[in-house]
Structure 1
């Protein structure tokens, strides 16, 4: 049992600093069944990311899953408009946030975990899979980061099959490697928050070619999800709709019937051949370098220089001898 199960309530008082007003959820899911929370889904359009506010209606205890910061790549400007709207929503509903849950170290957006933690009083734990340490070691070398900066960066490092509670509701942690080695899913009753381990049926699956990713692990993680009861609900981390409105959730049964990459009957060899060939054609995500440098440190920016400036590093690959 995780030590979080006995964590105290954290006092959080509504304030008026979020002047933009509460965000309106893109989707609302309530009365989903026994031990299943209400789910408020917020879609961040610039990176096609879903952030979830998961609530035990009886206690009003909540968890925030995969929060986002706004980042304008050409200008280097980071802002908190999306986060402020969700925080204002949390305050309006008088929710008590117990956990900030990361599904993995994202490579396509900057996490807002530290901003949420500070805005909520500084005591809400930021949680991630224990194998984040492997990801940190990999990218410390890529970006020349002092590994001591990772000491206790996150507050909780979950292992597979750990449990914690949200109000009166149990949550089971699922290790779902493949897209990244640290990847987790969170199972609250019928509701399963999958991150990038599976997408909507007409989108299929995520890439598995990042350092530490593994296409066979991804296949096995998807099969683990598809082995859950058919009425379970999979809440995805992103949506990239080909010709429909964005969606956040699908049943296991629908995934088994329609997922274009791993529907029922798709064997490992077929999936790995397709996914490997597809990944070989993909370019790097636009926000890869800033995202990883922030996300492996739980939302903390790189250290400022003596003039207070903060920079992201971009590794350069060149065949010409032009340095010096």
Structure 2
């Protein structure tokens, strides 16, 4: 089976690709190694994948339609896992055009070429930020999402809508995956857990927004990979069996699935877990709410469990301890 993984040098894409390679799949990775954060970390992730003969890395942008079509024409992938994106809520406040190009134009290219070249299951990464200003908890896949709070969230919603329309028009089985605050080894340096860890090790103060009065549904990377791997084997079917709380489209082989821990954690408890793993207390700059941020996220994962029999369950303290162990080994802080 031939698989394409976009964003294969990224945090999630590299971990999913590694899992698939270990299982014996042939994987083509697509990544452009942007300097949004240190490309050396992306190179290190890619090096782990390059150790497998069944892996090929293509260094292109998903916005490059001609280059993307050449890869799809050559590989004719059975499954496509689309993780490439311009990530980060805060970065989108000052760089909105980059999100339109990568997350809308780039996603359209992936969706369109998956259609043209016979992909059997297209899985697209989305985000819990899509729930925007929703105040009903936990977030369910059938909740309306008319109020995105950032251009990042808006572009992810746009890719969901494009994917649904293609599934309706052309019959490509498509699953959109809404991720909730993913963390763990090999993570993204722009994310709070990574920044907190680095600053505490260096004895620098950390910025704590809304004075710490935030809750997040943190999802450990290994749990996320397991959920994605299981969902690969469950492509939606038009007019398929409707499960309780199912988001299966009534007009297309399209489904939306949350992947989270279904157990929100107070930000201050999360910081305490990092402090305990490092063995140092954090200095804190207590700040107001960040523009575009939300006070709480909380995933309903009933549908994920019904489809796969799996629910993410790594305790945040266990996950943070594993991340800090990796951080020590990779960066060797004093």
Q: Tell me, yes or no, whether TM beats 0.5.
A: no
Greater strand share, 1 or 2? Answer: 1
- The TM-score, its normalising length taken from structure 1, stands at 0.29
* Structure whose residues are more often helix by fraction: 2
